[in-house]
Amino acid sequence: MWTTIGRLVEHEPNSTLRNPNRKSNHMNIAHKADFNNENRFELFLLDDNEKKVEWEEETRIPNTAVFTFNKEDHTLGNLLSSRLHKYDYVTFSAYKVPHPLFAKFELRVTTNGSISPKDAIVKCCKDIVQDLEVLSRSFTTEWLGKRIVHEGEAERLAREREI
């Protein structure tokens, strides 16, 4: 009488929807709330033994190195390469994302020799962290001020309504 038109997900041995905690598979199915793209965390989690930054000296050109940032994207790539342009001792810096499906970018840095490319990046990162700290402070101060004014006004309006 019954014709099989497909397998129920809970009967599929490889199904991620099967809930291993349940003894019986009767009527209980665990779903990912959205189970497309199971492996999206590969965009930002380092694999085992994978390093955040790897680098290689460029042998043909002095004071040059190519840094590979794993599990990072344009957020950091553009930030570092543009910021490095601000330093006089950096003569070249640019980044590329070799392939859009792999979460990594390469940053190539050349300095004038007074500092190594690696130290140039470290200095650059520290300066950005400082700027962000200043920004954060200014932001919180201003936000609190603005909210106090805002809430005071709301309170005053509420009081006026009561009267």
Partner 1 sequence: MDPYDIEGGAINVRFLHADSTRANFLIQNFDLATANALRRVMLSEVPTMAIDVVEVIDNTSVLADEFICHRLGLIPLNSKNVDDVLYSRDCDCEGYCEQCSVVLTLNARCTGNEVMKVYARDLVVSEGRPNDEVGNPVITDPEGLGSVIVKLRKGQSIHMRCIAKKGIAKEHAKWAPSAAIGFEYDPNNKLRHLDYWYEEDAKKEWPVDEHNANIDGAPQEGEAFDYDAVPTRFFFDVETVGGLEPDQIVTQGIKQLQQKLAGVIHELQGNDGMNGADDFGGAQSPQMNGAGYGGQDAGYTTPYGNASVWGGGGGTTPYGATPYGGPGGSGW
Q: Phi/psi at 20 (nearest 5 deg)?
A: -70, -15
**Euclidean distance between CA atoms 95 and 109, whole angstroms:** 9
Among 24, 75, 160, 163, binds partner 1 (CB under 8 A): 75
Q: Is 158 among the residues that bind partner 1 (CB under 8 A)?
A: no
**Euclidean distance between CA atoms 31 and 17, whole angstroms:** 5
**Euclidean distance between CA atoms 51 and 83, whole angstroms:** 23
Write down the least CB distance from residue 78 to partner 1, Å. 6
Q: Is 74 among the residues that bind partner 1 (CB under 8 A)?
A: yes
Write down the least CB distance from residue 8 to partner 1, Å. 12
Write down the least CB distance from residue 44 to partner 1, Å. 5
- Considering only residues 18 to 57 of the shown chain, the ones binding partner 1 according to CB under 8 A are 19, 21, 27-35, 37, 40-41, 43-45, 51-53
Give the range of 56-64, 94-102, 131-139, 155-163 binding partner 1 by CB under 8 A: 131-139
- Residue 113 backbone zone (phi > 0: left; psi -120 to 50: alpha; other: beta): left
* CB-nearer residue toward partner 1: 112 or 141: 141
DSSP, collapsed to helix, strand or coil, labels residue 1 as coil
Q: Is 147 among the residues that bind partner 1 (CB under 8 A)?
A: yes
**Euclidean distance between CA atoms 29 and 9, whole angstroms:** 8
